Every structure is written in structure tokens, then in C-alpha cells.
Amino acid sequence: MSNSVSALLSATFYEPGYDHLVELVHQRDPEARRRLASLDLSAYGPDGKLLLEHGLDTREETLDLGALLAPTAREHGRVMAVFDARYEEDAFPYRPHHYAYVHRAGSATPALYYAVSAALGGVPDRIGDMSRINNFDTYVFRRGPHAARYSVMLGNVGRFAPTEAQVFAYYGAERVEETVPLGPRAHAEVALAPERGGQPLTRVETKSLFRLAGYVAGRRDPSGDLVLFDHLFTFFK
Amino acid sequence: MGLRKLAKRVLGVQRQPTYYLPWLTRPHLQCALVLSNVESRFKVGYNRGSFPVSVVQYDADGAVAGRHEVTLPDAVEAVELPLPSAPGGCGFATVSGERINSDLYVTLSDGLAYTATHGRGEFIERYALPGRLLLAMIGGLLGLAGRAIPAFVRHQYAYVGPDSRSHLLVMNLSNVTNRVRVVASWEGRVLGARLLRLPPMGSTLLDIGTFGSASGGTATEVWRLRLEGAAWFNLYVVGAGARNLEGPLSLMHVK
């Protein structure tokens, strides 16, 4: 191993009742040359309380989040799972990717496949450059009506620093703002009204002092099954 | 000069920057693109006025199934473009417009809720005639043995559970007939191999069930897929639920 390793901090959210598998390395070659130097998982409650720490075997290919977190999530509700990876840039010139597969057990809603949100590190020429803003994200929606509810899930992966996230939802020309305080390792799901004044939800933006783990979520009515779990777009690059 | 660069030069390959999104229609699913140019509002000098966008929809055989001209009224307004069904029921659509690079979505709706993913800014490979003939000859010979030229290799996990699974939409992003060999394995055992023959700009929906079925346990199995093809290709993961391909589906880009 090189004495110069890079780091990547990624996070996702686990809810009980879901089959949720995370690829430790996306597109690993069969010879397993593309292997992380180390990978640790920690799980946090909505208030940032540490609920679990677990060192992962980097020889494994996928992680069954449910097997690890279901008992914790049944007790505490939604859990933020933080992945702290170390890797060599020779093996991952861009950065390693964790992709994941999520499906509500028994549901007819389709399985979703998504990229785990990378919050810190990983792309030295982008995230590491503090002169560029990478904490302003956008997502656009189809116009309804849809039998689904939308939200953004935000997590503060900072270990010591609290922050505030601003969430702006757009309905035609109207903008609705909500400020969400997030302590260290705290997380929240911010509901977005499907319409306002007869205008459908068309866009959401999030801003924060530093980069958060973030997803847009869509839940089918009335079951609440996830039909959308996707990253927002950062445009300042 | 590396081997890949040398081969590109010999084959006369040009890479044409292209933004594309997959499309997929089923009798119970509507497919629509969500087009916008949100990115432009942060580009001083390019964030005013309307933005013309051209969409070309290719069917599974690689034929142009439709051309659509759309005007985005401003830098934030999104326009929805329903895509009609076309032969094969799947394919990809290219999107061109000045400074449109990201944040375009493809959605699949069952009329009640929709799933969504975004497109990719990559390229289409254009081979000159000698290169096309050479690949056709070598690819045809290897195809007789069920093999493909392994110029491009991708690895992808596939998920097979008791009530969900992931399929693949494989797209040939080149102007040559692209033979793509797919080998599925699980726990070190080869489950099966398929040789896909994708016409230029063609696509196919690869049903993971054609490689076999899950072992019958309650846990979701993670299968390894290795794909190798002669020319540039890419894939989207197609997620299915308890009703498999007869139910609502999702699409997802991969790196």
C-alpha cells in the first residue's frame, strides 16, 4: 500500500422494511485489483447520535445494510449510514463509487439503483478546491398530479460543525424557503408540498455552508414506497 | 502511443460528443423526457433568452424513430417531452442544444407515480468504412464461437431477489454493428453467457432472467455481469418489482 491514500466520505439513509444493498466498489473487476484500502461504516440517528460503528471487510463486494441496521432502525427510525473509505488514487483515478440497490420488500414498486452521495473528499480537483462552491444543488420534477410525495433528505456528515440547510421549493414563480438546522451527524427529511396555490412543485434547491449528503426522495401514495431516491445536481464545478 | 490509441487511428474512429438518455416503453408505462437548461443560469452571458433543443429518438434497431424540436422558454423552466413507443420498445435519445450538458431526465410513469434518472454526456463513436468492414469481419468470425472483440469491458452487478430484480438496457453508441458478450456468474459459478448483436445505434433490454433464476432463498442475490464489446457501448440498470417487467420499472445511469 502507498503511504499516500485518499479519502472519501459518503452517506445514505436506511429505513426499515427495505432490501438495501450497497456495492463497496462499483464495477470491481473480477481479479479484485480495485480494492479499497479500508472502509468503515457508522450509523447515526436523526439527532446525530452515534448508533453503530462497524469496520467492513474490503474483500466483500456488497453490504446488506438491512442485515446490519434493521434492528437499529426499528428502534430509532431512519438511520444515516456514513461510509468512510480510504483508497489509493492509482487504483481509483477519479474516486471509488458506491452504488446501491433498494427495494421495499414485497412491493410492486420497482427496485431503485442509485449512487451513494459523496459528501467529502474523493475528487481532489473539485471538492477539495475550496474556491469553488459545491454546496448548492438543484433537482427538477415532472409536473403532477402524481400520487406521490416528495422530499429531500439531508445529512450533516461533519463531525464537529453544526450547519443550517436552506431548502427552496419552487411552484411557478413562487419560492418557498425552509431552514433546517443540522447538528454534527444529524439528518432530516424535509417534506415538499406537491403544490401551492394551484401550481405544482417544479424544482427544489438546497444550500448550506458546506456540502451535505443529500437525496431527493419520492414516495408513492398511499404505501409510502420509495419510487425516487436520487442525488441532486451541483452546477458550480 | 498506446494500443487503444493505435487501434482507434487504424480503424479511423472519431468520437462525437453526445448527450443521450435511454428510453423504454411498455404497454403500461409512459416514457417522457424532462428537458431544462438550469445549468445555464449560472453562466454569465448565456443565461438569458430561450433555448432550442433537438431530440433524436433511436429505436432498438438503431433507426431514427422520431425527431423533436423543443424550445425551453428560459433558464429554469423545464419542458416535458413524451416519447412515443417505437420498434423494440427501447433505445436511446440524443439531445443537442447550445450549452446543454446536464440535468436532463428520463422518466417512466405508470400514470400514478414516476421513476427518474438522468442522461449522460459522452460520445458516439464513428468508424470510417474500412474500420466498419474490419470489425464486421472479425466480429462475425468471433461471433460464430459466441465471442466478441473485448475492446471495451464493463463490470456490473445484477440483483435477483424474491420480489425484485435488475435488468440491463444495453446501448450501442457507435455506427458499427456491435457484438457484446455478457457473462453472468454467481459465487464463482458461471450462470450463462449471451452474445448480443446490436445494430449501429441500436439497443436491447437484457432480461436477467434469461441467465437463470434465483436459488430460491429469501435473500437478494448479487450476480456479477461482465460485458465486453468491440465498440463503445453503455448500459442503464432497469429496476423491477414484484411484477417484474409487467409492472412499473425504473432506470438508472451508472458510471
Q: Do A103 and B113 touch (CB under 8 A)?
A: no
ipTM, interface predicted TM-score of the complex = 0.93
- pLDDT of the residue at A125: 44
Mean pLDDT of B3-20: 87
pLDDT band at A115 (very low <50, low <70, confident <90, very high): very high
Residue B97 pLDDT > 50:
yes
Asked if B219 and A27 come within 8 Å (Cβ–Cβ), the reply is no
- Give pLDDT, residue A221: 93
Q: Report whether pLDDT(A110) > 60.
A: yes
Measured between CB atoms, which of A28, A101, A110 is closest to B248?
A: A110
Supply the pLDDT for residue A237: 47
B contacts of A29 (beta carbons < 8 Å): 155
Q: Give the pLDDT confidence score for residue A31 in this predicted structure.
A: 61
Say what percent of chain B tops pLDDT 90.
Answer: 80
Question: Would strands A226-230 and A213-220 be described as parallel, antiparallel, or unpaired?
Answer: antiparallel
Q: Are B90 and B167 in contact (CB under 8 A)?
A: no
Shortest CA distance to B24 belongs to which of B208, B251, B181, B232?
Answer: B251
Tell me how far apart the alpha carbons of residues A2 and A40 are, in angstroms, rounded to a whole number.
19
* Average pLDDT score over residue span B179-204: 96
* B29 DSSP assignment: B
Identify residue A195 by its one-letter amino acid code.
E
* Whole-structure pTM value: 0.93
Cα–Cα distance measured from residue B162 to residue A106, given in angstroms and rounded to the nearest whole number: 8
* Interval A198-210 mean pLDDT: 92
pLDDT at residue B246 tops 80: yes
For residue B1, pLDDT beyond 70: no
Q: What are phi and psi of A70, to 5 degrees?
A: -55, -45
Helix axes B129-144, B3-11, angle to 10 degrees: 110
pLDDT for A19-62, tens place per residue? 999 999 877 666 666 788 899 999 999 999 999 999 999 888 89
Tens-digit pLDDT profile for residues A123-172: 444 444 444 555 788 999 998 768 899 999 999 999 888 999 999 999 98
C-alpha cell of residue A191: 417534506
Residues 14-53 of B with CB under 8 A from A: 32, 34, 36, 38-39, 42
Q: Is B215 helix (H, G, I), strand (E, B) or coil?
A: coil
A23 CB-contact burial (10 Å; exposed 0-12 / middle 13-18 / buried 19+): buried
- pLDDT tens-digit series, residues B113-141: 999 999 999 999 999 999 999 999 999 99
Instruction: Indicate whether A3 pLDDT > 70.
Output: no
Q: Do A30 and B36 touch (CB under 8 A)?
A: no
pLDDT of residue A134: 57
- What value does the mean pLDDT of chain A take? 88
Mean pLDDT of the residues in chain B:
93
